[in-house]
Structure 1
Amino acid sequence: MASKKLMIIDGNSLIHRAFYALPPLKTKEGIVTNAVYGFLNMYYKVVEEYRPTHIGIVFDKKGLTFRHKEYEDYKAGRAKMPDELSLQFPLLKEILGYMNVKKLEIEGFEADDIAGTMASLGEREGYEVVLVSGDRDYLQLVDENTCVVLTKKGISDTEVYNVEKVADEYELTPEQLIDLKGLMGDSSDNIPGVPGVGPKTGIKLLKEYGSVENLYSEIENMKKGSLKNKLELYRNQAYMSKMLARIVRNVPVETELDELKLSEPNLEELSEMYDKLEFRSLLEKIGGKSSAEEVMALAEKVEFKIISGKKELKGCLDSLKKGFYFKFAYEEVGGKKEILGISLVSDDKSYFYVDLVEGELDETSFFESFKPVAESKDIDKYGYDIKEEVISCLMHGVNLEGISYDAIIGMYLIDPSEGSYSAKGISREYLNEDILEIKDLVGTGKNKKSLKDIELEERAEFFVKEIKVISDTRSKIESTISEREMDELFYEVELPLATVLGDMQYRGFKVDIEELERLRVDLDGKLEKLVSEIYEMAEGEFNINSPKQLSEILFEKLGLTPGKKTKTGYSTNAEVLEKLKGEHEIVSKILDYRQLSKLKSTYIDGMESVVDSRTHKVHSNFNQTITSTGRISSTEPNLQNIPIRTEEGRKIRKLFTSKSPEYKLVDADYSQIELRVLAHISDDEKLKEAFFENTDIHSKTASEVFGVPLGSVTSELRGKAKAVNFGIVYGISDYGLSRDLNIPRKEAKEYIDNYFKNYPKVKEYMDSIVKSGKKKGYVETILNRRRYIPELSSRNFNIRGFGERIAMNTPIQGSAADIIKVAMIEVYRKLKEKNMKSRLILQVHDELIVEAHVDEVEDVKKLLSETMENAVKLGVPLKVDMEVGDNWYETK
Structure 2
Amino acid sequence: MADKRLLLIDGNSIAFKAFYALYQSVDRFTNQDGLHTSAIYGFNTMLDNMLSVVKPTAALAAFDAGKTTFRTKMFKDYKSGRKQTPMELREQFPYIKQLLAARGIESYELANYEADDIIGTLAKQAEAAGYEVTIVTGDRDLTQLCSDKTTVSISKTGVSQTDHYTADYVKQTMGITPAQIVDVKGLQGDTSDNYPGVNKVGPKTADKLIKQYGTIENLYDHIDEITAKKLKEHLVEDHEQALLSKRLATIDRDAPIQIKVADLSYQGDQIETLTAFYQKMGFRKFLSQMGSAAAEQAPTIKFTTLTESNLDSLAKLGQAITFYLAMDGDNYHEAPFVGFVIGEPDNWFASRDVNLLKHPKLKALLDDEDHQINVFDAKRAYVGLHRLGIQLNHVDFDMLLVSYLLNTNDNSNDLSKVASKHGYYNVQSDEAVYGKGAKRAIPEDDEVLFNHLTAKAFAIAKLKEPMFKDLTEHDQTKLYQQIELPVAFVLARMEIAGITVNQDQLTEMGSKLSERIAEVEQAIYTAAGVEFNIGSPKQLGQVLFEKLNLPVIKKTKTGYSTSVDVLEKLAPQAPIVDNILKYRQLSKISSTYVDGLLKVIYPSDNKVHTRYLQTLTQTGRLSSVDPNLQNIPIRTDEGRQIRRAFVPSHPGWQIFASDYSQIELRVLASISGDTNMQDEFLHNDDIHASTARRIFGLESNDEVTPELRRQAKAVNFGIVYGISDFGLAKNTGITRKSAQQFIDKYFAEYPKVHQYMQDSVKQAHEKGYVETLTNRRRYLPDINSRNFHLRSFAERTAMNSPIQGSAADIIKIAMINMEKAIAGMEAKMLLQIHDELVFEAPESEIPVLQKLVPKIMDSAVKLHVPLKVASHYGATWYDAK
The verdict on how the C-alpha distance between 1:402 and 1:124 changes in structure 2, with shifts beyond 3 A counting, is closer
Aligned-partner SS, 1:524: helix
Name the structure 2 match of 1:502.
492
Name the structure 2 match of 1:400.
392
Aligned-pair Cα RMSD in Å? 4.1
The verdict on how the C-alpha distance between 1:707 and 1:20 changes in structure 2, with shifts beyond 3 A counting, is same
Aligned-partner SS, 1:399: coil
Letter in 1 for 2:726: Y
Do residues 323 (structure 1) and 320 (structure 2) align? yes
Counterpart pick for 1:824 among 800, 815, 822: 815
Do residues 391 (structure 1) and 403 (structure 2) align? no
Letter in 2 for 1:313: L
Name the structure 2 match of 1:304.
303
Instruction: Kindly provide the CA deviation profile for residues 308-360 of structure 1, in whole angstroms up to 9, marking residues without a partner as x.
Output: 2x2422431x33463311110222499932333221234xx443233134xxx
CA distance in 2, matches of 1:444, 1:535: 45
Deviation of residue 861 (structure 1)?
2.6
The verdict on how the C-alpha distance between 1:813 and 1:704 changes in structure 2, with shifts beyond 3 A counting, is same
Instruction: Kindly provide the CA deviation profile for residues 57-108 of structure 1, in whole angstroms up to 9, marking residues without a partner as x.
Output: xxxxxxxxxxxxxxxxxxxxxxx9997689779989998998964313789x
Q: Is the 8 Å Cα contact of residues 18 and 36 (structure 1) preserved in structure 2?
A: no
Name the structure 1 match of 2:475.
485
Name the structure 1 match of 2:852.
863
CA distance in 1, matches of 2:630, 2:512: 23
Q: Is the 8 Å Cα contact of residues 313 and 354 (structure 1) preserved in structure 2?
A: no
Q: Is the 8 Å Cα contact of residues 500 and 607 (structure 2) preserved in structure 1?
A: yes
Letter in 2 for 1:579: K
Deviation of residue 465 (structure 1)?
1.3
Q: Is the 8 Å Cα contact of residues 614 and 621 (structure 2) preserved in structure 1?
A: yes
The verdict on how the C-alpha distance between 1:37 and 1:839 changes in structure 2, with shifts beyond 3 A counting, is farther
Counterpart pick for 1:433 among 406, 420, 425: 425
1:19-58 equivalence runs, <5 A: 22=26, 24-33=28-37
Counterpart pick for 1:353 among 343, 346, 349: 349
Name the structure 2 match of 1:842.
831
Do residues 698 (structure 1) and 699 (structure 2) align? no
CA distance in 1, matches of 2:501, 2:38: 43
1:180-191 equivalence runs, <5 A: none
The verdict on how the C-alpha distance between 1:566 and 1:665 changes in structure 2, with shifts beyond 3 A counting, is same
Do residues 880 (structure 1) and 869 (structure 2) align? yes
Q: Is the 8 Å Cα contact of residues 657 and 887 (structure 1) preserved in structure 2?
A: yes
CA distance in 2, matches of 1:21, 1:615: 50
Name the structure 2 match of 1:459.
449
CA distance in 1, matches of 2:628, 2:42: 31
CA distance in 1, matches of 2:22, 2:807: 37
CA distance in 2, matches of 1:565, 1:730: 29
- Structure 2 gaps of 5+ residues are 1-12, 54-83, 106-133, 143-154, 175-247, 252-264
The verdict on how the C-alpha distance between 1:333 and 1:867 changes in structure 2, with shifts beyond 3 A counting, is closer
Deviation of residue 369 (structure 1)?
3.8
Deviation of residue 574 (structure 1)?
1.1
Deviation of residue 697 (structure 1)?
1.1
Instruction: Kindly provide the CA deviation profile for residues 390-429 of structure 1, in whole angstroms up to 9, marking residues without a partner as x.
Output: 1122223333221222111111111011121533234334
Counterpart pick for 2:796 among 805, 822, 827: 805
Q: Is the 8 Å Cα contact of residues 780 and 798 (structure 2) preserved in structure 1?
A: yes
Deviation of residue 744 (structure 1)?
0.4
The verdict on how the C-alpha distance between 1:766 and 1:431 changes in structure 2, with shifts beyond 3 A counting, is closer
Aligned-partner SS, 1:572: coil
* Higher RCO structure (Cα 8 Å, ≥6 apart): 2
Deviation of residue 124 (structure 1)?
9.0
Deviation of residue 576 (structure 1)?
1.3
1:129-168 equivalence runs, <5 A: none
Deviation of residue 884 (structure 1)?
0.5
CA distance in 2, matches of 1:653, 1:750: 41
Letter in 2 for 1:566: T
CA distance in 2, matches of 1:16, 1:589: 47
Letter in 2 for 1:743: I
Do residues 747 (structure 1) and 782 (structure 2) align? no
Name the structure 2 match of 1:207.
none
The verdict on how the C-alpha distance between 1:16 and 1:852 changes in structure 2, with shifts beyond 3 A counting, is farther
Aligned-partner SS, 1:891: coil
Letter in 2 for 1:675: L
Deviation of residue 800 (structure 1)?
1.4
The verdict on how the C-alpha distance between 1:881 and 1:701 changes in structure 2, with shifts beyond 3 A counting, is same
Instruction: Kindly provide the CA deviation profile for residues 17-71 of structure 1, in whole angstroms up to 9, marking residues without a partner as x.
Output: 855765625434433446875898899999999xxxxxxxxxxxxxxxxxxxxxx
Do residues 281 (structure 1) and 277 (structure 2) align? no
CA distance in 2, matches of 1:535, 1:354: 64
The verdict on how the C-alpha distance between 1:592 and 1:38 changes in structure 2, with shifts beyond 3 A counting, is farther
Q: Is the 8 Å Cα contact of residues 345 and 471 (structure 1) preserved in structure 2?
A: no
The verdict on how the C-alpha distance between 1:364 and 1:476 changes in structure 2, with shifts beyond 3 A counting, is closer
The verdict on how the C-alpha distance between 1:739 and 1:653 changes in structure 2, with shifts beyond 3 A counting, is same
Name the structure 2 match of 1:614.
604
Aligned-partner SS, 1:626: coil
Q: Is the 8 Å Cα contact of residues 295 and 434 (structure 1) preserved in structure 2?
A: yes
How many percent of aligned residue pairs carry the same amino acid?
Answer: 36
Letter in 2 for 1:390: Y
Letter in 1 for 2:874: G
Do residues 418 (structure 1) and 410 (structure 2) align? yes
Q: Is the 8 Å Cα contact of residues 869 and 878 (structure 1) preserved in structure 2?
A: yes
Counterpart pick for 2:754 among 763, 770, 776: 763
CA distance in 1, matches of 2:545, 2:859: 57
Deviation of residue 723 (structure 1)?
0.9
Aligned-partner SS, 1:883: strand
1:423-822 equivalence runs, <5 A: 423-451=415-443, 453=444, 455-708=445-698, 709-822=700-813
Name the structure 1 match of 2:138.
103
Letter in 1 for 2:408: P
Q: Is the 8 Å Cα contact of residues 288 and 420 (structure 2) preserved in structure 1?
A: no
Instruction: Kindly provide the CA deviation profile for residues 188-245 of structure 1, in whole angstroms up to 9, marking residues without a partner as x.
Output: xxxxxxxxxxxxxxxxxxxxxxxxxxxxxxxxxxxxxxxxxxxxxxxxxxxxxxxxxx
- Structure 1 gaps of 5+ residues are 1-8, 50-79, 129-251, 256-263
CA distance in 1, matches of 2:692, 2:417: 50
The verdict on how the C-alpha distance between 1:370 and 1:648 changes in structure 2, with shifts beyond 3 A counting, is same
Letter in 1 for 2:833: V
1:4-403 equivalence runs, <5 A: 22=26, 24-33=28-37, 101-104=136-139, 267-268=268-269, 272=274, 277-282=281-286, 289-292=290-293, 294-300=294-300, 302-308=301-307, 310-316=308-314, 318-320=315-317, 322-332=319-329, 336-346=334-344, 349-357=345-353, 362-363=354-355, 366=358, 368-403=360-395
Letter in 2 for 1:852: A
Q: Is the 8 Å Cα contact of residues 501 and 645 (structure 2) preserved in structure 1?
A: yes
CA distance in 2, matches of 1:492, 1:704: 40
Aligned-partner SS, 1:559: coil
Q: Is the 8 Å Cα contact of residues 342 and 354 (structure 1) preserved in structure 2?
A: yes
Q: Is the 8 Å Cα contact of residues 486 and 785 (structure 1) preserved in structure 2?
A: yes
TM-score computed with the length of structure 2 as normaliser:
0.73
Aligned-partner SS, 1:746: helix
CA distance in 1, matches of 2:867, 2:166: 75
Tell me the matched-pair count. 712
Which one has the largest radius of gyration?
Answer: 2
Deviation of residue 796 (structure 1)?
1.7
Deviates more, 1:37-46 or 1:551-560: 37-46
The verdict on how the C-alpha distance between 1:125 and 1:613 changes in structure 2, with shifts beyond 3 A counting, is farther
Q: Is the 8 Å Cα contact of residues 32 and 779 (structure 2) preserved in structure 1?
A: no
Deviation of residue 122 (structure 1)?
9.9
Deviation of residue 792 (structure 1)?
1.7
